[in-house]
Amino acid sequence: EVQLLESGGGLVQPGGSLRLSCAASGFAFTSYAMSWVRQAPGKGLEWVSTLSGSGGNTYYADSVKGRFTISRDNSKNTLYLQMKSLRAEDTALYYCAKEFGGYYEDWGQGTLVTVSS
Amino acid sequence: QSVLTQPPSVSGAPGQRVTISCTGSSSNIGAGYDVHWYRQLPGTAPKLLIYGNNNRPSGVPDRFSGSKSGTSASLAITGLQAEDEADYYCQSYDSSLSVSWVFGGGTKLTVL
């Protein structure tokens, strides 16, 4: 059974940093691209970033480019999202998702990031 | 403003058929990229409902079907049930300006 468990969310001040983690199990982690998708309170889904299975290719939404960095440790089956220069508009529930063929087969339960002073 | 446009809400009575539209453009759906659909029950993570325009993952009942034509796609739900009340999102890929995966704004389905 595929399991994706996000952690690392919390309350952070504007301009601050946070690192999210997603521990994966139940599938061949290195064989899949992984993504972060976020959902602001009461809003829809927004793609944030994607990383290829090998870790060699990264993609970012314009709204986070230059501020967020996606990475993975294939030895630990873990995906990360380093977030810097956080803004109020980054407040959201951040989901880790396993990608296949351009769609998201499996999702974690999310970790909440709140940017507020 | 989402790249893919969905109606904010749709409704139907139990047993009826409803459709949810997803309208894109020549840089996403119209460019030939597949459309995928997700269902999000209140307080839970999204779940894949339809992939590759009209394919159902294992476990998804055949009451759910997808279609795509031109720059639009649709999700149809037949035999509406109370537990179908949820938010539904379409998703595709957009090649304008930069690489990006895009979602519709979501549609709230209310079962009357």
**pLDDT of chain A, 117 residues: tens digit per residue:** 999 999 999 999 999 999 999 999 999 999 999 999 999 999 999 999 999 888 889 999 999 999 999 999 999 999 999 999 999 999 999 999 999 999 999 999 999 999 999
Judging contacts by C-beta atoms under 8 Å, the chain A residues touching residue B53 are: none
Both ends of chain B: CA-CA distance in Å? 28
Q: Which chain B residue's Cα is nearest to A105? A: B48
Contact A46, A61 (CB under 8 A): yes
A89-108 residues touching B, CB cutoff 8 A: 95, 101-108
Chain-centroid distance, C-alpha B51: 10
- Only one residue has tokens 């209310």, namely B110
- Contact criterion met (CB < 8 Å) for A101 and B51: yes
- What is the tens place of the pLDDT at every residue in B29-54? 999 999 999 999 999 999 999 999 99
CB pairs under 8 A between A and B: 61
Rg (CA), chain B: 13
Q: Which chain A residue's Cα is nearest to B3? A: A46
* Residue A62, burial from CB neighbour count under 10 angstroms (0-12, 13-18, 19+): exposed
Name which of A116, A112, A23 is nearest A75 in CA terms: A23
Judging contacts by C-beta atoms under 8 Å, the chain B residues touching residue A62 are: 97-98, 100
Handedness of CA B109, B92, B73, B97 (dihedral sign): positive
Answer whether A78 touches B (CB < 8 Å): no
